[in-house]
A and B are shown apart, each in its own frame.
Chain A
Amino acid sequence: MSGRSRLLGLLCLAAAVLGGCGAGDAPSSGVGLTATRDFGGRTLIELERAKVSGSDTVMRMLDRNATVAKRFGGGFVQDINGVAGGRSGGRPVDWFFYVNGVESEKGAASIDVHGGDRVWWDHHDWGVTPHIPAVVGSYPEPFLHGRDGRRLPVRVECADPRAGPCARVAEELIERGVPAGRSSLSRSPADETLRVLVGPWKRLRGRDLEADNLDSGPRASGVFARFDAAGTKLVVLDERGRPARTLGAGSGLVAATRAEQRQPVWYVTGTDGAGAAAAARAFDESVLADRFALAISGDLPVRVPLVSGRKP
């Protein structure tokens, strides 16, 4: 091998190595960062365009934008801006994060952020469940940017595809630039499709695993609200899983959950047609922002879970 080709080879090797090095370019679209307490009840950090570098993980991005104390070799967040995990009032509290409204199976140090992602850290009581698989407070995510930097197909499934709530939800998504298909309720959900199920709960319940989880309570679904056996009353729970408020006819619910290995399913539902219509009207970014789930009573939003001592 001549000296020149050896030099060329070395340059190629250097280029290959350096290709995997460095901070990289920042994502083209902004990455949002939110930090809240008590299931989104109090905002600590709200950044539309957080400081981020191309190779950032969720953890590194948080490090860039907040004062963070970590444990276990930097893999676990203990404290953000002075709000620490541990025990509060005898209850376990810690920091949890959601990327585009979806809980991750991996740690924050193992997940890359992508352009357009919304990262939400929340400090809350996990005595009832440490797993809340999906939340609605990052809307229009995950519909707009999907998961892991990959957009997902979206389908709006309705109890009555011609009814107003169904059209309202589908049009809202399309206005946001989400190409959403509309159909009647399906019994063969595709695992890779984001589904929005619209209609009274009586029509939606028992149709799939996610609906069964919602009926089973927050331990199974991560949603701190449940309908009664007849589906005519909606019980909003507090952070300890205790009934905090019972809503009657005309009440709605917007909630998201996820079964293992499947994409999140959103429910825009209610105790009856009027409740589902109220939920469809609340299917809006400004109403859903920073909420784990949302109940609607008399067209007024009710925070879910209804944290003790806080206004709805």
Chain B
Amino acid sequence: MIAAYERRASPLHAARAPVAAAYAIALVSSVLLFEHPLALVALAIAILGAGVLAGAGRSLARAALFAIPFAIAIALINPLVVREGLTVVLRLGELGALGKIDVTAEALVFGAILGLRALLVMLAGGALLAATVDADEVLQRFRRISAHSALTAALAVRLVPVLGRDARRLADARRCRPNAAARPGPTERLQIVRAVATGALDRALDVAATLEVRGYATPAAVRGARRLREPWSRHDLAFAASALGLVALALGARLSGVATFEAYPRTLAPVGAAEIVLALALVIVALLPFADRRGVQR
């Protein structure tokens, strides 16, 4: 399910779109830079906290419904395909092409960590980004760099929900037919996808013709791109600083050897004062910009 952007009265929504996007991307980058469970738990708190404080809790919950099974699948598959780890907890013997399968505690732990990371990436990079970043504003600003790319991206972003609505209408129409089942089977799903794909090509031709008629092909349209020059608000500055702070913390921890994690052959995840301070710092740096709620009704 694609979370839709909706302007809400929150500090994150009050920040300009590229800054909000950078904030979400910084959260994703931090998740990808860490394997230490404590750091990941801190980032999970930060991402969920940011979602709730930005009024996007429901979007995150909806995304989690789809992401959690995916994360569980990763957590379960890892111990079956990885031949690492010293602590055998379950011996499954020879399983055909997979060979000898010994499930180890280390592979289970790392599978859980990989699953958690996938979940957090989907929440921060998918739901939070989509719910708090105005794609139109990003594209409008991006137009200054490359008008053609911005136009392509804008059309793609616009066409995805249009095609989604097409698919729903086709599915509704299918259900209206006599003897139709409540839910489409695999064959009927394929028919709908084929119809939507064909429709997408037709729409693409229509859009191209319309753009040509409106003069988008002429250089004047490119030159006429409006430049947005707004001073940076306190929310812009706060979230930009937060994004930089998150990346700096993650890179600093990696370079200084704090929150190191070794998955194999034995799970090593040292938890000391440095790791605890880092975890607290990640949460504080990520959520501090939400403390200032002045001017959130932009």
In the complex, identify which listed stretch (A39-47, A51-59, A134-142, A177-185) lies at the interface while the others stay far away: A51-59
| Contacting pair B99 A107 (CB below 8 A) | yes
In the complex, identify which listed stretch (A68-76, A204-212, A299-307) lies at the interface while the others stay far away: A68-76
Which residues of A are found within 8 Å of B86, using beta-carbon distances? 53, 60, 63-64
A88 touches B (CB below 8 Å) = no
Q: How many angstroms between the C-alpha atoms of A20 and B90 in the bound complex?
A: 6
Partner of A23, one of B81, B82, B87: B87
Within 8 A of B (CB), among A101-146: 106-107, 109-111
CB distance from B42 to the nearest CB of A (A): 29
Q: How many angstroms between the C-alpha atoms of A59 and B83 in the bound complex?
A: 8
Q: How many angstroms between the C-alpha atoms of A23 and B264 in the bound complex?
A: 16
Number of A-B contacts (CB under 8 A): 56
Interface size on A, residues (CB 8 A): 22
A229-250 interface code vs B (CB 8 A; 1 in, 0 out): 0000000000000000000000
A74-100 interface code vs B (CB 8 A; 1 in, 0 out): 110000000000000000000000000
Within 8 A of A (CB), among B53-90: 81-90
A22 touches B (CB below 8 Å) = yes
Looking across the interface, which residue of chain B has its beta carbon closest to that of A19? B91
Which residues of A are found within 8 Å of B265, using beta-carbon distances? 60, 63-64, 68
B236 touches A (CB below 8 Å) = no
Which residues of B are found within 8 Å of A16, using beta-carbon distances? none
| Contacting pair A74 B84 (CB below 8 A) | yes
Interface size classification for chain B? 10 to 19
B257-279 interface code vs A (CB 8 A; 1 in, 0 out): 00000001100000000000000
Which residues of A are found within 8 Å of B87, using beta-carbon distances? 23
| Contacting pair B83 A22 (CB below 8 A) | no
A21 touches B (CB below 8 Å) = yes
Which residues of A are found within 8 Å of B264, using beta-carbon distances? 63, 70, 74
Ordered nearest first, which 10 A-B pairs have the shortest CB separation? A109-B83, A74-B83, A74-B84, A63-B265, A110-B100, A55-B88, A110-B99, A75-B83, A20-B91, A73-B82
25 example contacts (A-B, Cβ-Cβ < 8 A) are as follows A20-B91, A22-B89, A23-B87, A53-B86, A55-B91, A55-B102, A57-B100, A57-B102, A60-B85, A60-B86, A60-B265, A63-B86, A63-B265, A64-B86, A68-B265, A73-B83, A73-B84, A74-B83, A74-B264, A107-B99, A109-B83, A109-B100, A110-B94, A110-B100, A111-B100
